[in-house]
Structure 1
Amino acid sequence: MLARLGVIALVFGLAASLGQAQEQTGDTQRQAGRQDYPPHLFSRPIAVDVIEDKAEAEARKREEEEARQREIEDLAAQKGMNTATQSIEAATRDMRDYALYSTILVGVGTVLLLFTLFLTRQANRAAQAAVDVTREMGKKQARAYLYIKIGNFEISVVDNADSSNLVTRVVVTVANSGNTPAYSPVIYYDIQEAIPNQIIPLPNPETMQKTPVNNGFIPPNEDSTTRLSRTFEVDDPVAFQRFDKRIIRFTYCINFLDEFDEERWTPIISGTFHHWPKGSVSFLPDKIHEVQEN
């Protein structure tokens, strides 16, 4: 250690001497007005061998090795961090793409699900409609169908206390052409005097006379006979009886309950009775009107 300090002191002494010599030379040159001198007059640098302690050299070497190793490790760590960062970025992009694809697939699946539900609902509606149609067809095939057959028609001259002097009677037969019974049948009818070719508005069934069918029950493919009548007050009952200038209009329909406990109405039918030369009377229907059977 003392030898190293001696060497360092010697080096500093030589440097100081060299500096003083250069300052003196500079002053001399300025005084002489830039006078040149031979090169051998300047002092030359002295080579100094620095003697370093072996332990310190090894310590310095170790420190350099450790510093180099730390640099290598730091570089490796930076590379690892860079690789990890790139991996995170790639994973983030993959997650973003996956989320986008998942959203698209979920949207497509939702649309397909809604479309499937719509088709299922339409199919259910079609099936329900088919069931309703089948049920309705079954009801129509099984239910009762009533109609009236016109029988005898009579006009009689009477002398009643209420001033009525003419009575008309119509024998009708209510027949059931269906496959199930008809319950509580009621005949709604109206017998009116009219002039030939006279247009008479069709009456509302609720304003007509009504007569229940005798037994209140008509089995399938059977019938029941009922007599309908109405009295009039006319000026000349005898002439009326001969259908002179007057005719009798007959309008009717039937209300009943079918096997399925549904109320039914037959079409409203109207027509006139005509007296033929040989004395027979027949009913000529006009047409089936707008109120159809239900």
Structure 2
Amino acid sequence: MSVLSPIDPSRARQLAIETLQIEADAVSALARRVDEAFAQAAQRLLDCRGRVVVMGMGKSGHIGRKLAATLASTGTPAMFVHPAEASHGDLGMITRQDAVLALSNSGESEELSAILPFIKRMGVPLIALTGRADSTLGRHADVVLDTSVAKEACPHNLAPTASTTAQLAMGDALAVVLLDARGFLADDFARSHPGGSLGRKLLTHVSDVMRRDEAVPCVAPDTGLMDLMREISAKGLGMSAVVADGRAVGVFTDGDLRRLIERTGNGTDLRALSAREVMHHAPRTVRENALAVEAAELMEAHSITSLLVVDEAGRLVGALNSNDLMRAKVI
């Protein structure tokens, strides 16, 4: 290995552009090869009643692990099995209900080639992503998807770069076709990603984050303004519902108090006012079974920071503000 030298910004930029262009060309070339074989491969995977078993050695194995994860998270049960481990017992993970998706640019990976006859003997569908259709892998496969590239992005044309990018892109294309065929929707994606931001947005309901019972600020219409303000201060939501017969008939906020003082001046005895006289009628509400993200959108649309929560009969059951949504990482 030669002595390290400082990065030459000009050469670094040139190599980066060349790398990206070579890999972009490799992916563009794939688009021209999507034919009946691709549709057949997708159908074989869709018909699989077990799992899609993804296999590959070296860099192809790393891509395979990612593709297995992508398939599994988009509605196609999948797992990665290392070809070398398969020769020492892990082949038992593959059942007759499964399908195998094998990746190898050369198609001659020794560890993968060693187990191909056993896979074929089981009658398991074998889909190959390879750069050589006439390779050992290509000859054993039921369907071959050509992922060959004109050259690697590596200056020595050795390190798997463009070829692994092509494998990844073709695998992603299969995953997208399969999720479309399965009618896989955003809600389904969220259910397999409950810890992610999309999962939180699509799975978190207002009822999961709202304040309940004694934590909900509320007063009767005839409550005096001073008691109304005490309720607002005690509950820490910056507002209070005004409730009659179990239904929210109004709302009063900290901002309303400031505007009331500005409007009435110093000569008005605010203590004589009741909640009914100062409240906003027909307050903004959200259903408890609505998504929390819908509550966030409603707050943004009306430039407010809190909402009253009602059930299907319109009865007040809770309240929430933007801080509640932030704590739940919905916004």
Report the TM-score, using the length of structure 2 for normalisation: 0.20
Higher gyration radius (CA): 1
Q: Which has the higher helix share?
A: 2
Q: Which has the higher strand share?
A: 1
